[in-house]
Amino acid sequence: MSLQEWIIFAILLAALALFISGRWRYDVVALLALLTAVLTGLVPAGRAFSGFSNPAVITVAAVLVLSRGLQNSGIVERISQLLGRLKGGLTIQLGALTGLVALLSAFMNNVGALALFLPVALEVARKKNLPASALLMPMAFASLLGGMTTLIGTPPNIIASSFRQQVSGQPFAMFDFTPVGFGVALAGLLFITLIGWRLIPARRSAALGGSIFEIENYVTEARLRSDSPLAGKRLREIAAFSEAQTVIIGLVRGRERRMDPSARTVLQPGDTLILSSDTLGLQKLIESAGLELVGSKRIEKPQLESEDVAMSEVVIAPDSLMIGATARSLNLRAEYGINLLAVSRQGEVLRSRLDRIRFRSGDVLLLQSHVETLKETLGILGCLPLASRPLRIGQPRRLLLGLAIFAAALLITALGWLSAPIAFTAGAVGMVLARVVNLREAYESIDWPILILLGAMIPVGDALETSGGAQRVAGFLLTFSDAVSPAWTLLILLVATMFLSDLVNNAAAVVLMAPIGIRLAQGMAVSVDPFLMAITIGASCAFLTPIGHQSNTLVMGPGGYRFGDYWRVGLLLEGIVAAVAIPLLLTIWPFFP
């Protein structure tokens, strides 16, 4: 191999290792890979940021804004309302939920579609006494399956379309993905609805006794004795009496109960504090602050709420700014006005000191704050509530406008009147001008790490091609394909992309595999279409791990799943996808059109 080939393979292997480790975010890893490629001369300095001008990047951003508009229109909430009235057992409920998530994922961001139905699924599980663990993972997988069916269903499809345009001058059309994608999605949905959910182990957090957290296990009442050194001091000064983080949830004075009291409140002997602290911290606080445990009754969740103060169970989304931070570093109480009461990870309530827990994507948090503060802050922090959200009813103008703009963008693209980047950008601007989405929501809806990943990895993918690395890998596969039929080569490419997407972001998987697929097709003197289609399907099959796709990560905490739970269903599902996809690809996208 040439020196350039050695360098590009070393860069890609290092990037893959960092992607898999999760130590750094994937956009940071992508930028490091790009900078290394530039410094080693593989990517010319003048083209270092050419990836950000790629139509795929613009299209992904515009589609995300359109997805937010579809969400704001209220159509999903109306569907959810109808779903709540559906009769039947687990199979019926699961079929309806997975079908709706897959349908929405074909036209909007699949993580967004799943997030909208997550509280709906939990509510259905509670009302109908169904295991939530049997609903959430199938819904996550359904969001991936639905994304296979249209151009805008998932970023990998948009990226593959841009590669096709580079090779043949013509991108994939809106519904070119539908014949194969729909067949694969249908087979996958039937499997997870009828069989797959039975393979999922039941986890403790999936029990439907209500909250994941048992309030009385970590909330305590303590009364100030007459000789307490806290008497006459302000509430905020309690931190000086304990080494651990102590959260003051409420204060009882006589017959008055104040939830989330002000930090300036002056304490008096006889006041009863409702507080949350770990065992060691509580012991030290009682000894140093002259408190006595009340403990005469159980403290239930309604007692910790009022008209203005509420408690909420939320899940940390994959793009949350909380990931890798702690309650102390975020300064949740002072900066955001929120009390962190408990953290659950993979179904287990963490007993460590709350201020030292580093948050992960999929963690479930129990928060307390003023109602309005919670509404405003959850979006900023990147958390999703696990209780049903208020329905957007009584907004027919917004509903009709949102649907009309979205449908117009789809129609214009499908008829070929405008290219996808132009049509969807126009649709995104239309959503803003029609006030279906405001500017703040438009910018918040864009998944900036994905865009940076794409913009950085596209030049690296080009370097794989120009250095001869893609030709080297394709040549190895072509040597093997001489002994087998082209269909087996297509299957190998599909399976390889599947396993890669289980470890790294699916957009990165397409950027890396597309040059190899194109070289394979050229080496075999056949159409590139079946190879690019196989890569897009494989990139949407991150079913084996919770880190392969954001949808999988999102349900891990609420479902109480462990890392190894995913492959129990995912391995069979990937086998079914491969068995269905290859015949469909060979029929609809033949090697010799």
Q: Are 536 and 494 in contact (CB under 8 A)?
A: no
The pLDDT value recorded for residue 244 is 58
Contact partners, residue 15, CB within 8 Å, separation at least 6: 29, 30, 32, 33, 460
pLDDT higher for 473 or 171? 171
Q: Which two tokens stand for residue 304?
A: 């910790």
28: helix, strand or coil: helix
Q: Are 423 and 409 in contact (CB under 8 A)?
A: yes
* Nearest partner of 444 among 117, 72, 80, 50, judged by Cα: 72
- At residue 500 the predicted structure's pLDDT band, cuts being 50, 70 and 90, is confident
Beta carbons within 10 angstroms of residue 393's beta carbon = 11
Taking residues 336-355, report their average pLDDT.
76
In terms of average pLDDT, the best of 167-181, 310-324, 366-380 is 167-181
Q: Which of 203-212, 218-227, 551-560 has the lowest mean pLDDT?
A: 203-212
For residue 67, is pLDDT > 90? no
Taking residues 204-226, report their average pLDDT.
60
Give the number of domains in the chain: 1
Give a yes or no: residue 253 inside a domain: yes
Q: Which two tokens stand for residue 414?
A: 């499908």
For residue 368, is pLDDT > 90? no
The pLDDT value recorded for residue 217 is 52
State the pTM of this model. Answer: 0.77
pLDDT higher for 327 or 295? 327
Q: DSSP secondary-structure letter at 335?
A: I
Sheet harboring 383-385: ordered strands across? Answer: 348-349, 339-345, 364-370, 309-316, 383-385
Main-chain phi, psi angles of 378, to 5 degrees: -60, -40
CA distance 339 to 370: 10
We report the CATH number of the domain holding residue 233 as: 3.30.70.1450
What burial class does residue 293 get, using C-beta atoms within 10 Å of its C-beta: 0-12 exposed, 13-18 middle, 19+ buried? exposed
SS3 for 508-531 is HHHHHHHHHHHHHHHHHCCCCHHH
Helices (H), 267-316: 279-289
CA distance 134 to 127: 15
What burial class does residue 527 get, using C-beta atoms within 10 Å of its C-beta: 0-12 exposed, 13-18 middle, 19+ buried? middle
DSSP symbols for 342-381: EEEETTEE--S-GGGPPP-TT-EEEEEEEHHHHHHHHHHH
The pLDDT value recorded for residue 310 is 72
Q: Which of 241-245, 247-251, 313-317, 531-535 has the lowest mean pLDDT?
A: 241-245
Contact partners, residue 318, CB within 8 Å, separation at least 6: 111, 361, 362, 550, 553, 554
CA distance 229 to 205: 41
Q: Are 591 and 530 in contact (CB under 8 A)?
A: yes
Give a yes or no: residue 254 inside a domain: yes
Taking residues 467-486, report their average pLDDT.
73
The pLDDT value recorded for residue 208 is 43
* Rounded (5°) CA angle 571-546-138: 60
CA distance 537 to 172: 14
Q: Are 301 and 311 in contact (CB under 8 A)?
A: yes
Q: Which two tokens stand for residue 266?
A: 């002056």
- At residue 422 the predicted structure's pLDDT band, cuts being 50, 70 and 90, is very high
Q: What is the enclosing helix (H) or strand (E) of 37?
A: helix 26-39
Give a yes or no: residue 308 inside a domain: no
pLDDT, one tens digit per residue, over 430-464 is 999 988 888 888 888 888 888 888 888 888 888 88
Q: Which two tokens stand for residue 556?
A: 């891990």
The pLDDT value recorded for residue 392 is 45
Give a yes or no: residue 106 inside a domain: no
What burial class does residue 296 get, using C-beta atoms within 10 Å of its C-beta: 0-12 exposed, 13-18 middle, 19+ buried? exposed
CA distance 318 to 382: 8
The pLDDT value recorded for residue 414 is 84
Give a yes or no: residue 66 inside a domain: no
* Nearest partner of 457 among 396, 383, 514, 527, judged by Cα: 514
* Nearest partner of 391 among 111, 67, 75, 70, judged by Cα: 75
Give a yes or no: residue 110 inside a domain: no
Q: How far from 74 is each of 67, 174, 375, 385, 515, CA to CA, in Å? A: 12, 24, 17, 17, 41
- Domain region containing 238: 226-289
Give a yes or no: residue 234 inside a domain: yes
* Nearest partner of 544 among 491, 489, 500, judged by Cα: 500
Give a yes or no: residue 239 inside a domain: yes
